């Protein structure tokens, strides 16, 4: 186990929800909160799309969404699904035939609004295709594309209108006795999205897919998503998340995991705790952390590393991390292992040595996890 235990005052009581399956990945019902992203290549560019899917999966994505706007795309989807190591969600808008084709192509889930695809007969056909091919669905409500009658009723996009839209779509599926669905009520406005999700969480037991849609670029979108998703997750709301950034899909996955890690909801890789640096620093903290983030990106084992420039807070932070380094001046610092002072280290050897210590500790943690699993299986 990692050196950092879960403390009672850090625990979050998650909202109870039904569990559905997206391919072989459980969503809801107490399952780990999954991290999703979406490709931004042309779906008909199979090689390019598969490359993005593989990169996202390597970064930790549990589920990847792919747009399916036309018949050529759903035809390409079959090969993408075959090459993907994670479940693929087909993003469908308006045309019910694309949903049926995507289900036939092997999509694990259909992102669709049942009310947008036409008559009850068409909804019935899509539900049948989903059942026949083991697909779940995601109802995706967006503040920017609410139905006209709801905008006329509520005058503007608001939480009540978004939730009503979602409940209307839910009823169309429940009328067909189909319950393998999750739902989202996204908006680019953090307050609007958060309020809508809070109301929706009380109105249904369906798993909730969280997102602040069209959040912006890497910096802006990360901040907005951390505020919006972080507050909802802190309240126990949310079963799967997608951070929407105008950036590489891999960045969406990284930010998603960082949000979950910050709340203690999911752990993957090395959590680096570092100071912002000041005149007291005994080494270049900023450059060191940048180098370590790159050098340690391959580690998936959950563990913690503190990199603190001086002895003001360094020893205290190191007490709570698996590996720590505190600057001491005069060209050297102190290495901490499992919260205890271990040995002095020259600054010019710091990065290589810390990488070695982290890799060694990660291997120890993995051995412990394997032993625990073996005992549980006996």
Q: Any binding-site annotation on 158?
A: no
pLDDT at 1: 43
**CA angle, residues 374, 376, 378, in degrees to nearest 5:** 75
The kind and range of the H/E element at 36 are: strand 34-38
CATH (one of 2.60.40.10, 3.30.360.10, 3.20.20.20, 3.60.150.10) for 8-262: 3.20.20.20
216 or 104, greater pLDDT: 104
CB 53 within 8 A of CB 39: yes
The CATH architecture assigned to 270-377 reads: 2-Layer Sandwich (3.30)
pTM of the model: 0.90
DSSP state of 208: B
Distances (CA, A) of 336 to 231, 327, 344: 33, 11, 9
Q: What is the mean pLDDT of residues 106-119?
A: 87
Backbone phi, psi, residue 31, to 5°? -65, 155
pLDDT at 241: 98
Does residue 130 register a pLDDT over 50? Answer: yes
% of the chain residues with pLDDT over 90: 83
**DSSP SS3 for 320:** coil
Q: Any binding-site annotation on 147?
A: no
Q: Report CA dihedral (14, 15, 18, 24) to the nearest 10 degrees.
A: -30
Does residue 4 register a pLDDT over 90? Answer: no
* Per-residue pLDDT tens digits for 186-211: 999 999 999 999 999 999 999 999 99
pLDDT at 21: 98
Distance of CA 8 to the CA centre of its chain: 24
CATH 3.20.20.20 domain locations along the chain? 8-262
Q: Any binding-site annotation on 109?
A: no
* Per-residue pLDDT tens digits for 256-314: 999 999 999 998 899 999 999 898 899 999 999 999 999 999 999 999 999 999 988 88
**DSSP SS3 for 227:** helix
Q: How many C-beta neighbours within 10 Å does residue 80 have?
A: 26
109 or 113, greater pLDDT: 109
Does residue 101 register a pLDDT over 60? Answer: yes
Lowest-confidence pick of 7-21, 25-39, 276-290: 7-21
pLDDT at 8: 63
pLDDT at 378: 75
CATH 3.30.413.10 domain locations along the chain? 270-377
């Amino acid at each position: 186990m990692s050196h950092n235990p879960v403390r009672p005052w850090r625990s979050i009581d998650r909202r109870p929800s039904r569990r559905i399956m997206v391919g072989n990945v459980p969503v809801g019902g107490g399952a780990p909160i999954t991290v999703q992203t979406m490709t931004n290549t042309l779906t008909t560019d199979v090689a390019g799309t598969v490359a993005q899917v593989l990169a996202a999966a390597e970064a930790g994505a549990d589920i990847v969404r792919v747009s399916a706007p036309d018949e050529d795309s759903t035809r390409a989807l079959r090969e993408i699904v075959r090459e993907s190591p994670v479940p693929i969600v087909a993003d469908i808008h308006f045309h019910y035939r694309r949903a049926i084709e995507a289900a036939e192509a092997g999509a694990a889930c259909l992102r669709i609004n049942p009310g947008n695809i036409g008559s009850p007969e068409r909804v019935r056909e899509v539900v049948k295709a989903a059942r026949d091919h083991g697909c779940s669905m995601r109802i995706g409500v967006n503040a920017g594309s609410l139905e006209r009658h709801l905008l006329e009723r509520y005058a503007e996009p608001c939480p009540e209108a978004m939730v009503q839209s979602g409940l209307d779509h839910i009823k169309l599926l429940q009328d067909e006795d189909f319950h393998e669905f999750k739902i989202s009520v996204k908006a680019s406005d953090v307050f609007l999205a958060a309020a809508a999700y809070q109301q929706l969480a009380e109105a249904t037991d369906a798993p909730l897919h969280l997102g602040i849609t069209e959040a912006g670029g890497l910096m802006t979108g990360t901040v907005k998503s951390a505020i919006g998703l972080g507050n909802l997750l802190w309240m126990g709301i949310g079963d799967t998340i997608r951070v929407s950034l105008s950036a590489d899909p891999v960045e969406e996955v990284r930010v998603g995991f960082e949000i979950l890690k910050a709340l203690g909801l999911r752990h993957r890789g090395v959590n680096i705790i570092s100071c912002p640096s000041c005149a007291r620093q005994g080494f270049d903290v900023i450059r060191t952390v940048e180098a370590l983030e790159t050098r340690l990106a391959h580690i998936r084992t959950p563990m913690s590393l503190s990199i603190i420039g001086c002895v003001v807070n360094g020893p205290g932070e190191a007490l709570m991390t698996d590996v720590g380094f505190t600057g001491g001046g005069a060209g050297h610092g102190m290495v901490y292992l499992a919260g205890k002072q271990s040995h002095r280290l020259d600054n010019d050897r710091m990065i290589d040595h810390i990488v070695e210590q982290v890799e060694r500790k990660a291997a120890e943690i993995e051995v412990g996890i394997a032993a625990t699993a073996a005992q549980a299986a006996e």
